[in-house]
Amino acid sequence: MHNPQLNANGELTHLLSIEGLPRELIHQILDTASSFIEVSDRDVKKVPLLRGKSVFNVFFENSTRTRTTFEIAAKRLSADVINLDVTRSSTAKGETLLDTVDNLIAMHADMFVVRHAASGAPHLITEHLRRLGRNDVHVVNAGDGRHAHPTQGLLDMYTIRHYKKDFSNLVVAVVGDILHSRVARSDINALTTLGAAEVRAVGPKTLLPAAIERMGVRVCHDLREGVRDCDVVIMLRLQNERMNGALLPSAREYFSCYGLTPAILALAKPDAIVMHPGPMNRGVEIDSDVADGPQAVILPQVTFGIAVRMAVLGILAGN
């Protein structure tokens, strides 16, 4: 089957999803990110790799945090960055997604960083670019619906590789609202591809997708069982809006069943690391003592995230 993310030489031309990326390509991205880590530590945090390139942050859904990380990554590569808050623009005037994209291509966009509430929107754009024969324009999925958030998945893999070196013996627990989480999907795909020994999907029945086992994970409805002897615990953010509905009784009750406390974390391996994509709901999915504790690598995730996004933009620009 044709992989829309790769060109004829198997090189990355778009980043839509971790699903379908070969293991070597993932490692290549992480290796490149590694070389960018020191750029952000420099006195002059800038390399001229994308000088004169136009990177468009096209956010159909508001996300200041993700937009900011891509903006920083692109600026440190010396690109010209244009932020488009599409919630306020032409789409609101009835223009179609592809008309908006065509217009930006006509302005000589080199790269689209796309966030959309609809699963598949970035894929739709790459399909359109393919039909146009424009392999000089690249798309990065910055989160589409419940589908994927591949740069988050990659930065999570970078973090795990940084602390654990090798994936082959790792037991990783992904905990929380997996049903609505594009991060969970991207992480599970990446961990499977990279050969983690065991991936656990931990959460209440109402927040796990029906056929989650098919992704190759072990399902746990009990947090203690899910965390026991883990090397890595990835906590997911619980969206506030979930708590007003039929899915969950209350934040307090959720915390008592699925909140990560020091006592629960003690069941994991002593050198287990705790990750979270942010923003955290302290006291809902994670206890402050864990969030601020020695096993948390939540802020290093953010630092690595800049390097990973620089790597993705840099690799795409080169291919």
The smaller minimum CB distance to a copy of itself, of residues 96 and 135, is found at: 96
Q: How far apart are CA 254 and CA 206, in angstroms?
A: 12
Instruction: Please name which of 58, 47, 151, 46 lies closest in space to residue 110, comparing C-alpha atoms.
Output: 58
Among 7, 22, 27, 45, interactor with a copy of itself by CB under 8 A = 45
The smaller minimum CB distance to a copy of itself, of residues 147 and 237, is found at: 237
The smaller minimum CB distance to a copy of itself, of residues 92 and 211, is found at: 92
User: Does residue number 319 form part of the binding site for a copy of itself (CB under 8 A)?
Assistant: no
Among 52, 133, 270, 294, interactor with a copy of itself by CB under 8 A = 52
| 46 annotated as ligand-binding | no
User: Does residue number 156 form part of the binding site for a copy of itself (CB under 8 A)?
Assistant: no
User: Does residue number 35 form part of the binding site for a copy of itself (CB under 8 A)?
Assistant: no
Q: Is 172 helix (H, G, I), strand (E, B) or coil?
A: strand
User: Does residue number 34 form part of the binding site for a copy of itself (CB under 8 A)?
Assistant: no
In the complex, least distance from residue 115 CB atom to a copy of itself, rounded to whole angstroms:
13
Please choose, out of 15-23, 122-130, 184-192, 278-286, the segment that lies near a copy of itself by the rule CB under 8 A.
Answer: 278-286
| 301 annotated as ligand-binding | no
User: Does residue number 69 form part of the binding site for a copy of itself (CB under 8 A)?
Assistant: yes
The smaller minimum CB distance to a copy of itself, of residues 159 and 189, is found at: 159
- Footprint of a copy of itself on 72-101 (CB under 8 A): 72, 75-76, 80, 82, 84-86, 88-90, 93-96, 99-100
Rounded (to 5) percent helix, strand, coil in the chain:
45, 15, 40
Asked if 233 and 173 count as a contact pair (C-beta separation under 8 A), the reply is yes
Among 11, 61, 102, 127, interactor with a copy of itself by CB under 8 A = 102
| 152 annotated as ligand-binding | yes
Size of the site for a copy of itself (CB under 8 A): 54
Among 23, 51, 165, 252, interactor with a copy of itself by CB under 8 A = 51
Instruction: Please name which of 235, 233, 226, 293 lies closest in space to residue 259, comparing C-alpha atoms.
Output: 235
Q: How far apart are CA 122 and CA 128, in angstroms?
A: 10
Instruction: Please name which of 247, 165, 235, 168 lies closest in space to residue 200, comparing C-alpha atoms.
Output: 235
Q: φ, ψ for residue 134 (rounded to 5)?
A: -95, 85
| 182 annotated as ligand-binding | yes
Among 10, 23, 31, 107, interactor with a copy of itself by CB under 8 A = 107
Q: How far apart are CA 310 and CA 47, in angstroms?
A: 10
Residues in contact with 221: Cβ distance below 8 Å, sequence separation at least 6, in sequence order = 202, 203, 204, 205, 208
Q: How far apart are CA 316 and CA 63, in angstroms?
A: 23
In the complex, least distance from residue 61 CB atom to a copy of itself, rounded to whole angstroms:
12
Q: Is 232 helix (H, G, I), strand (E, B) or coil?
A: strand
Task: Compute, in degrees rounded to 10, the torsion defined by CA atoms 239, 251, 208, 180.
Answer: -10
In the complex, least distance from residue 92 CB atom to a copy of itself, rounded to whole angstroms:
9
Q: How far apart are CA 283 and CA 221, in angstroms?
A: 20
In the complex, least distance from residue 299 CB atom to a copy of itself, rounded to whole angstroms:
4
User: Does residue number 290 form part of the binding site for a copy of itself (CB under 8 A)?
Assistant: no
Q: φ, ψ for residue 182 (rounded to 5)?
A: -70, -30
Binding interface with a copy of itself (CB under 8 A)? 40-46, 51-54, 62-65, 68-69, 71-72, 75-76, 80, 82, 84-86, 88-90, 93-96, 99-100, 102-103, 105-108, 240, 278-282, 299-303, 305-306
